[in-house]
Amino acid sequence: MSKLGFIGLGIMGAPMAGHLIAAGHDVYLHTRSEIPAALIQAGGIACANGCEVAAQADVIFIMVPDTPHVEAVLFGDHGVTAGLSPGKTVVDMSSISPITTKGFAQRINELGCEYLDAPVSGGEVGARAGTLTIMVGGAQATFDVVKPLFELMGKNITLVGGNGAGQICKVANQIIVALNIEAVGEALLFASKAGADPAKVRAALMGGFASSKILEVHGERMIKRTFDPGFRIELHQKDLNLALSSARELGVALPNTATAQELFNACRAQGGAEWDHSAMVRALENLANCKIA
């Protein structure tokens, strides 16, 4: 049994922390809103701030929305670094800037502590099921120590490289997901406009080379009009911003990623920042003056 910390108990973080508690670990909890009662009832231990979490735990997990939030959790008033002592490990499972991540890791290492960036894919469903894909950047020895804890939260767990590599991998993942959502949306919209039953088209495609998790899960959402997150458009926009800004620094053109971002922007202009990212199809529907039906 280990002493663990978990900071950030939203849609993803709460079930992830729950798996650690269920495995019998002492888990010290903090979040900017109210800690879910179910986690306390299961044995989680509430803390007033990140400093208190870090003082109690040997491994501290962070799962918050964006780069500035991670910075505040780590280095802000009563932040994690105020409670760290040499030998502890910080694991950031948020999806944030790869470049900034390397700076965070260096600052944590200077305190005599280890740092892993370990963003995830799989959404709320994967978080609840404990089947997340976890992409890790950091030292092999640190990864080996933390891997049994990752295995409580995910199934496909890969050490991609040094610090920042996990975040680079997550950005690549989000490019692929966005472009697949756009492709599935176009295909189902085309089928519907042409007079075919989109549900039957989807079922037929699931048995062929076009089959994908996006077609399976998000295609069904598009057809059934179930756009409750899930994964919010505003969060996917944040990830594509990371992709596009990093691409500018690298001198790489990402034309289809830019198009996907513009479609998300169109959704957001319609009040859709908190829609599930499968609702990108609504922007395509507006362009076609036709809904999938």
List the catalytic residues.
Answer: 170
Helix, strand, coil abundance in the chain, percent, nearest 5: 55, 15, 30
Preceding amide of 230 cis, omega within 30? yes
- CA gap 197, 77 in Å, rounded: 56
- CA gap 5, 107 in Å, rounded: 19
Which amino acid belongs to residue 15?
A: P
Neighbours of 247 (CB within 10 A): 16
**Do 17 and 44 contact (CB within 8 A), yes or no?**
yes
- Looking up tokens 């390397």 gives 102
Among residues 148, 170, 7, 188, the alpha carbon closest in space to that of 83 is found at 7
- CA gap 187, 74 in Å, rounded: 44
At 56, phi and psi to the nearest 5?
-90, -35
